[in-house]
Structures are given as structure tokens and as C-alpha cells.
Amino acid sequence: MSESGGRRVGVAVDFSDCSRKALSWALDNAVRDGDHLILITVCHDMHYEEGEMQLWETVGSPLIPLSEVSDAAVMKKYGVKPDAETLDIANTAARKKSVTIVMKIYWGDPRDKICEAAEHIPLSSLVIGNRGLGGLKRMIMGSVSNHVVNNVACPVTVVKGHN
């Protein structure tokens, strides 16, 4: 990524309030000048006949610069619709800090794909939000953050979605 040796800090982003909170936390507490901030998003829907998904389904998209992430036409090719608030947080950070921000998109189960990202990029650390599902929902659906914490080699920070 960079010859300067900056760290690769990943943030799992699904454009929810919870992931925006994790992104803000990462920018305030984990990211330093010279780092690469990698927004990792996982799409559940796979329309194989459309866009870039056919090319990148197994390995994920290439690293997409923030300027392209902010371009709705480019994101449509990948089947991703970033929300305005997430884009504002990222673009503001890019202007104020010496940080390179890129996005990597995966298709499939978020539990598996976030773990793959941590290994293949590879990440120095990962920040992920936690929606705070109740016990029954968590048991039925499984907690993505819990799975990731228990299955990746890099340090993981879980940011709670509620107070």
C-alpha cells in the first residue's frame, strides 16, 4: 500500500448508525497521520449479471479511492449505496488528517468476509460496531462482531451502537 509503512486500520461499514459511530471512533482514537483507513463493506445481495460483482465476488473489489466512493455512478457499479453522513465523516477526515481513505467491497456473509479482509489486506487493526442485539436475536442471527473478534489475528475494537 505505502512505502512509508503507515498502518492499515480497517473499519467495517454497513452505513448504519452503528457503523458510523465505529467510523467516528476510529478516526478520533485509532487513526494517526500516515495511516491507511480501509472502509470494509460487505454486500449481501449478489446480482451476478450486474456490474463489477462478477469480477470481484471471490476476492473483493480493488481498493477504491475515497473520491470514487463519493461518486454515486461508480458505487452503483459495485451495488453499494453509501449514505451521505458516512461520506461526510470520511471526506472531512480526509481533508483534516494526513490519512489515505479507501474502500474494499466484498459480497457474501459479513462474518466470513470481514475476517478474510483482515487477513488478506492485511489489517494492523480493525474497528467494528456492535448493534447490541438481544440474547435471542444474537443466538438466532449470530453476532458479526463476536464472530470477528474470535476469528481474526489482528486487534479488534468493538464500538457499542448504544450507550
Pairing mode, strands 64-65 and 36-43 = unpaired
Reported confidence tier of residue 130, pLDDT bands at 50, 70, 90:
confident
Q: Is residue 156 part of a domain?
A: yes
Q: For residue 87, how many C-alpha atoms fall within 13 Å in the half-sphere facing its CB? A: 14
Could you tell me the residue range of the domain that residue 151 belongs to?
8-62+69-160
Reported pTM: 0.87
Q: Is residue 58 part of a domain?
A: yes
Average pLDDT over residues 22-51: 86
pLDDT at 78: 85
Whether the pLDDT of residue 2 is over 50: the answer is: no
Q: Which residues of 48-73 are buried (b: 16+ CB within 10 A; e: fewer)?
A: eeeebbeebeeebbeebebeebbeee
Average pLDDT over residues 2-21: 85
Domain count, the chain: 1
First-to-last CA distance in the chain? 36
Whether the pLDDT of residue 114 is over 90: the answer is: yes
Q: Is residue 16 part of a domain?
A: yes
We report the CATH number of the domain holding residue 84 as 3.40.50.620
pLDDT at 1: 47
pLDDT at 134: 56
pLDDT at 132: 61
Whether the pLDDT of residue 119 is over 70: the answer is: yes
Q: Is residue 24 part of a domain?
A: yes
Whether the pLDDT of residue 99 is over 50: the answer is: yes
Q: Is residue 3 part of a domain?
A: no
Q: Is residue 1 part of a domain?
A: no
Sheet with 156-160, strands from edge to edge, namely 64-65, 100-107, 36-43, 8-12, 125-130, 156-160
Whether the pLDDT of residue 58 is over 90: the answer is: no
Backbone angles phi, psi at 58, to 5 degrees: -85, -35
Average pLDDT over residues 59-80: 92
Residue 126 and residue 155 in contact, taking contact as beta carbons nearer than 8 Å: yes
Average pLDDT over residues 16-26: 94
